[in-house]
A and B are shown apart, each in its own frame.
Chain A
């Protein structure tokens, strides 16, 4: 029994040192893909995670750029806006404003309908706009439905609107 115990102790105390250059030799012998220092289980998700993080960064930088443009006072979106005028006897109703450089013949309203209403839905850039209706090419009519009206300095009255996408607070 003592003999066995001595043998066990001897074996436990035994140390074998690798010959010089052994590690390098083993590493050289390994295929290239096994030399990666990161364990394989990490590498399976590391690359997609890095790609995801980079994408997030790009998106965040993009959003920040967009926000800084807004912060400078420039609105970026467009909003569909509905215009309407009750002019039952008119032959033609046009819409002129800052959004179409006050051009005649550019936006002609549809109508009249059975109740004498003329309508147009126009895509406007977000922001402040002024406009006026031109009836039959000679009468300038301020929008009676507008909440804000302003003298145009030329003897007529423009409507003033602030148009924004309601989702864009």
Chain B
């Protein structure tokens, strides 16, 4: 390639400008661009395809035979698309106006509001199909997550993960500490040194400090949720730098400065450290009941569960760490059949509990919680009825969390803030203010 003169450069950039101008003219003509939405239909029969992932998909398959028997004319095909692959698949389908989507979609609380906001008309209005009758049937705080801005329900809650405090009874006993007496995290900090002295080389909890490979924010979010706060308020304004948020990050910073938080960066490192007895407790969600039991069979009898300490004195203990839901694509030609399956799987205690047994999916349906299995003693937890603790926490009532359509962006910025506090000892208020400002700049939302 020869000489690229200044004149050539000007000529090229001129051509670029012309192309840009032509581009904007074209897009002005095309108006809404690629906004074509596939019109669905309300057939009540046919084959309903479902996208879910791993154990949840497996659990869902378990209710299919009974459903098909009761609903002749409907066949159900549950596909394990895998997580996180499912999000790319749903996003691409939504962006294509609903083309190629399954009839029923399993969607987490972190993605549902994004789909609702960014792809209006992508999910079917379930209120029109009769979903509103189930409004009070699910754990408190979940209905707002599945409700769109128009007040219509676009999904039904399936799984709910309440926040709990799991701990190694043997290690705390060695230090003469009873975690049941913890009222706030200040109480934990007060006995931190005693714990470390009795358990050298063992950390209280583990957090993936640099957020590699993925953000580790459940603890921070739960500390905010216990105070009825989150990245956004219920109106959708940004509250990432609110006093509650700063307090939550400050609790983490103090625990870290006290040397109580181990760094679990890297794939499976947290699990390895748990297995090696390097971590004594977990501020974890309900999924951990099943997880600890299956991953750490050698530690049978050593673990216990109690209510998590509150973020502030006298504050709420309950927080819903996450929830997942089943939705129906608006582009489905058989929305009624799809809804029938969703209704069958999620609103009947029998199906909800059979799925819990099969895949460890803690049901959001409150009627399911009266099953005897929720009060049964669990040998892994020294005979403690651990599920009851979560049922009680949910019964105390969680505040609703508005994940909003910009949750993924907020999560990223909050994670960056947390990493800066852990790795560089940054000031919680300062990093959260930065993050909130960036969030406002990127999303155009109001900063409170």
Is A bound to B? no
Residues of B whose CB lies within 8 Å of any CB of A are: none
